[in-house]
Amino acid sequence: MAEAQTVSTVKKGRHREKWISFLFVLPSLIAIFVFVYGFIAWTGYISLTKWNTFLKDLSFAGLANYRFLFADFRFQSDLRNTVVFTLLFMAVCICLGLFLAVLLDRKRKGETLFRNIFLFPMALSFIVTGVVWQWIFNPSTGINLILKQLGVDDPPLWYVQTKVIPDLHLGQLHVGLPLALIAVIIAAAWQLSGFTMAMFLSGLRSISDELKEAARVDGATEWQVFRYILLPALKPITFSAIIILGHISLKIFDLVYAMTGPGAAFVTDMPGLYMVETTFKGSHYAQGAAIAVIMLVLVSLLIIPYLVLTFRKEESL
Amino acid sequence: MIRNRIAPFFSNGILILLSVFFLLPVYVMVTTSLKPVSEATLAQMWELPSRIDLTSYGIAFEKLEPHLLNTLYLVIPATILSALLGSLNGYILSKWQFTGSNTLFALILFGMFIPYQSILIPLIQFLQKIQLYNTIPGLILVHVVYGIPITTLIFRNFYANIPREVVEAAQLDGNGIWGIYRRIILPLSISGFVVVGIWQFTQIWNEFLFAITITNTSQQPIMVALQNLSGSQIVQWNIQMAGALMAALPTLLVYIFLGKYFIRGLLAGSLKG
């Protein structure tokens, strides 16, 4: 009896406490709604104006800035570079990360040391990474010194290279893989492969050892254990890794800024870089805002389905 | 039997080879920064210094010191404030859920994925209006606000591991929301604060986009100063490398000594609790 009474007082208190609990998160909610959603809306509005000079001009321009961008050689190059960079960067990080995780998962001796070596670049700034890799890929030193020692007479030009392969023409744009991006992809993968390794490693550790052992006892080869037990179990983690790497790569800015800049004929340019340069160096605020809106749309296509899925799953639990 | 002996040999070989690749930039940074100017040439990149010369560190430090201090003034308050906010939000959103709280949480989380270019122009107009543009307090405000999603996420996952009974028992003892937070939850949060603190410290220390657009000249944090140092053609290569190493050292040390917590923050950031 007494117990039932306490439970009901607690319940009555619950209603009031829910309001109090809302008040505790209210400051953060207001901050997020102003600084994220409010500012995004304002950026969206700016992208529809004529504010492309130092003097603020908020008169309506319709979609003129977007039309300008999609016809602009630099922005077209940026979109090509983003697609190429994102696909290759994700592929390298996921393959290398998975490979490292599988190697380390079976190893007990020296595992911590190796794991730390593969993961430490995550603690570095993209600026530091860019500054160092810029020297390593400088065509007159670094990697090319080693290649020359190995007898390569004609070493690659790395990020100075302006060639695009297979160089299909689509209007003024050269469609294909700009070879200069390879150096940037290597530097970015160097920095983030350890992250996918850590994700995969935590996934592999959560697969029970008995399951793997049982399969081995039944005569499965190591490849079959990997293909039919480990790989399916790692699917959700691979999905998360794609989302995380994808949104990093769509937003990439600092690494390119420090390592190569836009490059000749914009072979290493990215939307994030174009936005900052055109806005703050060229005072093309409306065009910068339009680039930012396009970046946001690209990231949202990746993130919103992911957030919706994650929260559906959580609520059904 | 033979397979069992060859396989580990083979996998060790690959791991060592890849480790060499991963440590390549460290080798270049360390050896070059210790070289005298005459040896920091393009042709001698892979050679060890003939003697240890620390002049480059002196020159780099002289140039970077004010900016290292700027970053220190920025990173300490910003980390503490955003960890406190995240802890409070995480506590409410995991233990005192109200109607719509999960949707609100998802709306908060979206803020950590957006490209910051999409809020940058209004943000700068706003900071100019409240007179915090080109100031360290302005940058602190920015990092605290945009740190809310990740710190809330990490703390929400962290508090999900504290059993509901603990909260209910404290409630029966007559504690309110704030009392339970202060007396029960906060003392249990130390490792959560370590994870979030390390994560925010590293992120804010390394951040570049806000740093370069919100501050100029004397207020600039270390990463902008490093970029300026290495972007200039006149600065010697050994000085650039010494500067890069100095700028990287604080987060590297955190990683070396508290790596376990760093990895926990990293994995929490991928939404997996």
Domain ranges in chain B are 55-268
* Closest residue by Cα to residue A119 from B230, B197, B202, B242: B202
Please check whether residue B205 touches A, CB under 8 A. Answer: yes
Is the distance from CB of B243 to CB of B230 less than 8 angstroms? yes
Region B14-24: mean pLDDT is: 94
- Residue numbers in B near A132 (CB within 8 A): 25, 28-29, 241, 244
Q: Is the pLDDT of residue B269 over 70?
A: no
Domains in chain A and their CATH numbers? Answer: 73-272 (1.10.3720.10)
Q: Which of B22, B115, B226 sits opposite A117 (nearest CB)?
A: B22
Q: Is B159 exposed, middle or buried (0-12, 13-18, 19+ CB in 10 A)?
A: buried
Interface of B with A in 55-84 (CB under 8 A): none
CB contact under 8 A, A135 and B237: yes
Alpha-carbon span B154 to A266, nearest angstrom: 39
Using N-to-C axis directions, what is the helix angle for B55-95 and B2-33, rounded to 10°?
A: 120
Q: Is the pLDDT of residue A33 over 50?
A: yes
Q: Is the pLDDT of residue A2 over 60?
A: no
Kindly report the backbone phi and psi dihedral angles of residue B49, in degrees, each rounded to the nearest multiple of 5, phi listed first: -65, 145
- Residue numbers in B near A314 (CB within 8 A): 102
Interface of A with B in 287-306 (CB under 8 A): 288-289, 291-293, 295-296, 299, 303-304, 306
* Closest residue by Cα to residue B18 from A193, A196, A129, A130: A193
Is the distance from CB of A254 to CB of A243 less than 8 angstroms? no
* Closest residue by Cα to residue B262 from A78, A198, A246: A198
Q: Is the pLDDT of residue B86 over 90?
A: yes
Please check whether residue B259 touches A, CB under 8 A. Answer: yes
CB contact under 8 A, A135 and B111: no
Over the stretch B198-218, which tens digit does the pLDDT of each residue have?
A: 999 999 999 999 999 999 889
3-state percent breakdown (helix, strand, coil) of chain B, nearest 5: 80, 0, 20
The secondary structure of chain A, three-state, reads CHHHHHHHHHHHHHHHHHHHHHHHHHHHHHHHHHHHHHHHHHHHHHCCECCCCCCCCCCECCCHHHHHHHHCHHHHHHHHHHHHHHHHHHHHHHHHHHHHHHHHHCCCCCHHHHHHHHHHHHHCCHHHHHHHHHHHCCCCCCHHHHHHHCCCCCCCCHHHCCCEEEEEEECCEEEEEECCHHHHHHHHHHHHHHHHHHHHHHHHHCCCHHHHHHHHHCCCCHHHHHHHHHHHHCHHHHHHHHHHHHHHHHCCCHHHHHHCCCCHHHCCCCHHHHHHHHHHHCCCHHHHHHHHHHHHHHHHHHHHHHHHHHHHHHHHC
Q: What is the DSSP letter of B208?
A: -
Name residues whose C-beta falls within 8 Å of residue B38's C-beta, 6 or more positions apart in sequence. none
CATH class entry, domain B55-268 = mainly alpha
Provide the pLDDT for residue B1.
Answer: 40
Over the stretch A152-188, which tens digit does the pLDDT of each residue have?
A: 888 899 998 888 888 888 888 889 999 999 999 999 9
Over the stretch A61-91, which tens digit does the pLDDT of each residue have?
A: 999 999 999 999 999 999 999 999 999 999 9
Highest mean predicted confidence (pLDDT) among A51-55, A295-299, A312-316: A295-299
Please check whether residue A95 touches B, CB under 8 A. Answer: no
Please check whether residue B141 touches A, CB under 8 A. Answer: no
Q: Which of A136, A141, A240 sits opposite B272 (nearest CB)?
A: A240
Q: What is the DSSP letter of B106?
A: H
Interface of B with A in 93-132 (CB under 8 A): 93, 96, 98-99, 102-111, 113-123, 126
Provide the pLDDT for residue A172.
Answer: 87
Q: Which of B148, B227, B262 sits opposite A127 (nearest CB)?
A: B227
Per the prediction, chain B carries an average pLDDT of 91
pLDDT band (50, 70, 90) for residue A18: confident
CB contact under 8 A, B113 and A299: yes
Alpha-carbon span A253 to A32, nearest angstrom: 23
Q: Which of B85, B145, B248 sits opposite A128 (nearest CB)?
A: B248
CB contact under 8 A, A25 and B93: yes
CB contact under 8 A, B208 and A128: no
Provide the pLDDT for residue A1.
Answer: 42
Please check whether residue A17 touches B, CB under 8 A. Answer: yes
Q: Is the pLDDT of residue A231 over 50?
A: yes
- Percent of all residues in chain A with a pLDDT value above 90, rounded to a whole number: 66
Q: Which of B28, B104, B223 sits opposite A29 (nearest CB)?
A: B104
Interface of A with B in 33-52 (CB under 8 A): 35-40, 42-43, 46
Lowest mean pLDDT of A305-309, B108-112, B139-143, B206-210, name the range.
Answer: A305-309
- Percent of all residues in chain B with a pLDDT value above 70, rounded to a whole number: 96
Q: Is the pLDDT of residue B247 over 70?
A: yes
Interface of B with A in 216-245 (CB under 8 A): 223, 226-227, 230-231, 237, 240-241, 244
Is the distance from CB of A59 to CB of A49 less than 8 angstroms? yes
Alpha-carbon span B141 to B146, nearest angstrom: 9
How far is C-alpha B225 from the chain's CA centre?
17
Q: Is the pLDDT of residue B231 over 80?
A: no
Name residues whose C-beta falls within 8 Å of residue B245's C-beta, 6 or more positions apart in sequence. B29, B30, B33
pLDDT band (50, 70, 90) for residue A248: very high
* Closest residue by Cα to residue A103 from A6, A7, A204, A184: A204
Alpha-carbon span B29 to B15, nearest angstrom: 22
Region B144-169: mean pLDDT is: 93
CB contact under 8 A, A114 and B89: no
CB contact under 8 A, A107 and B11: yes
CB contact under 8 A, A121 and B22: yes
Region B76-98: mean pLDDT is: 94
Q: What is the DSSP letter of B185?
A: I
CB contact under 8 A, B92 and A21: yes
- Residue numbers in A near B209 (CB within 8 A): 253-254, 272, 276
Q: Is the pLDDT of residue B2 over 50?
A: no
CB contact under 8 A, A240 and B271: yes
- Residue numbers in A near B151 (CB within 8 A): none
Alpha-carbon span B47 to B41, nearest angstrom: 10
pLDDT band (50, 70, 90) for residue A11: low
Interface test with A, best of B17, B20, B22, B143 (most A CBs within 10 A): B22
Region B32-37: mean pLDDT is: 92
Q: Is the pLDDT of residue A123 over 50?
A: yes
